[in-house]
Structure formats: structure tokens, C-alpha cells
Amino acid sequence: MTQAPEVWNSAYDNDTAPWIIGGPQPAIVELERAGHIRGRVLDPGAGAGEHTIALTALGYDVLGVDLSPSAVAYARRNAAAKNVPGARFEVADMVALARSGDNPLGTFDTIVDSALFHVFLADAAARADYVRTLHRLCVPGGHLHVLALSNAEEGFGPRIGAEMIRDSFTAPGWAIEDLRSDRYYGRITETIAEQAGDLTPDAAGRVEAAAWLARIRRIG
Ligand SMILES: C[S@@+](CC[C@H](N)C(=O)[O-])C[C@H]1O[C@@H](n2cnc3c(N)ncnc32)[C@H](O)[C@@H]1O
């Protein structure tokens, strides 16, 4: 079972989300600098909205979606506080969309998944549905970027092996163009205090963990 919206809501309502670091993930910032973001952009599982906000501020046409109404409310407040009123957020369940005849979101040239794919670590059916939704929402030839926590090191959160990415994004629908080690930054809250107890926060209060960064093209 994947987690219900109420579970995610509580992380935002009680400010216990360990992934909220007050800005975008450095790996996503670097992706943009390297020229890998183009056209209409989707930020699925947008959370606090940092990637949608940062990319909108740079002039991209971005939509952030999240299963959790509290996340969307948080992201909208965050965008207002950062003075990026053009940042757009909607509530949408990327798993349920696979089973629905409708596609209210449209299609996208670039999809930037930061820490959503790994959420489906223990739920193969939800993971397969999520990948089906991604395929439907990504234009042929478009790109999906996945930043996911890695099990290569001890850390926090749901950590996956590279083979889960390789197995999920195979031909004929997808081609993995790049799959490399990177870092994901979080903060220690009560949610991960036990798991991350040995990590020392940096000057900005962030802790870092091993991650995968995959660049995947929709080919069919
Ligand atoms: C670990 S957080 C990552 C948030 C953000 N992308 C980041 O990197 O800071 C995962 C987010 O995905 C959302 N989420 C979980 N299941 C989802 C689903 N089926 N569809 C859309 N969003 C989902 C959660 O509400 C949560 O905000």
C-alpha cells in the first residue's frame, strides 16, 4: 500500500517533512544549468514546491502536482513568500491517473521527479501505475529525470537500488540515457531522527544522503 493523502498532509501540517530544506535540491539546480530542462515541465510529488518555484522563476512553464492538499497549500504559500506568483500547483494522484480515462494535466516535454519514485519502493503495483502515468504524460522524445534515494549507503527515507530504475524504465517505452550517483539533501525531523541520528547537519542545517540521478527518454 502507498501512503494515503492524510499521512502526507500531516508532514506538511505539522512541519515534520524531512525533505523540506528551504530551496531546490542541488542536483536539480545542476540539471537545469546543464541544459536538461525544456518545454512544458511537470514536477510530480512537488511537495513544498521548491523545484516548481525555482524553475518558474527562471522562466520555465512548470506545473507542480501533489497527492496531498496540504502540500499544495504549503507550496502556494511558499511561492508567495518567495515572490514567484506564477508558480502553479494542483492536487493530483500520479498513481490513480494511470487507472483513469482522463488526463486533466496535459502532456510535458520534461518531467522532474525529485523523491517521488522511491516512495513506491515496497509497492510494485503502485510503482508500475506511476510509470504508466509518466509515460502517458511525457511526450514522445521527451525526458524524465528521476532523483531517488539510493541504498548504496546508510541514510534516511526509502532507499532503492539502481536496478529498480533500470527495471521500471525499459524498452520499448523508455531508454535510460544516463544513470549516476548523486546526493539528496534533507533535514532531521522527528520522522527520520532514529535513521539519521549519526548524520551531522551542515551549516545550513541539511543532512545529505546517497541518491541516483537518472535521465530517461520516452521512445515509444
Ligand atoms: C519525499 S516527498 C518529495 C517532495 C519534493 N519533490 C522534494 O524533493 O522535496 C514526496 C511527495 O510526493 C507526494 N506524493 C506521494 N504519493 C503521490 C502520488 N501518488 N501522486 C502525487 N504525489 C504523491 C507526497 O505528498 C510528497 O509531497
Complete DSSP assignment for 138-174: EEEEEEEEEEEEBTTS--SS--B-HHHHHHHS-TTTE
Q: Is there an atom of ligand 1 within 6 Å of 49 CB?
A: no
Helix, strand, coil content of the chain in percent (nearest 5)? 30, 30, 40
103: nearest Cα among 61, 142, 131, 134: 134
Atom of ligand 1 lying closest to residue 19 CA:
9
Please name the residue whose Cα sits nearest to atom 17 of ligand 1: 67
Mean pLDDT along residues 45-71? 98
User: What's the first-to-final CA gap in the chain, in angstroms?
Assistant: 29
- pLDDT band of 85, cuts 50, 70, 90: very high
**Residue 183 in contact with residue 26, Cβ under 8 Å?**
yes
> Residue 171 pLDDT > 90, yes or no?
no
Q: How far is the CA of 41 from the centre of ligand 1 (A)?
A: 16
Q: What is the dihedral of CA 13, 15, 17, 23, to 10 degrees?
A: 110
Q: How far is the CA of 47 from the centre of ligand 1 (A)?
A: 5
DSSP one-letter code for 201: P
Q: Is there an atom of ligand 1 within 6 Å of 94 CB?
A: yes
Atom of ligand 1 lying closest to residue 25 CA:
8
Atom of ligand 1 lying closest to residue 2 CA:
16
58: nearest Cα among 78, 86, 81: 86
DSSP one-letter code for 116: S
> Residue 100 pLDDT > 80, yes or no?
yes
> Residue 47 pLDDT > 70, yes or no?
yes
Q: How far is the CA of 177 from the centre of ligand 1 (A)?
A: 24
Kindly state the greatest CA–CA separation across the chain: 48
Q: Whole-model pTM above 0.85?
A: yes
pLDDT value at residue 133: 97
Distance between CA atoms of residues 162 and 167, nearest Å: 9
- pLDDT band of 156, cuts 50, 70, 90: confident
Q: Is there an atom of ligand 1 within 6 Å of 18 CB?
A: no
Q: What is the dihedral of CA 152, 155, 161, 166, to 10 degrees?
A: -110
Q: How far is the CA of 46 from the centre of ligand 1 (A)?
A: 6
18: nearest Cα among 199, 212, 213: 199
Burial of 123: CB neighbours in 10 Å, binned 0-12, 13-18, 19+: middle
pLDDT value at residue 220: 83
3-state secondary structure of 88: strand
Atom of ligand 1 lying closest to residue 184 CA:
8
Q: Is there an atom of ligand 1 within 6 Å of 182 CB?
A: no
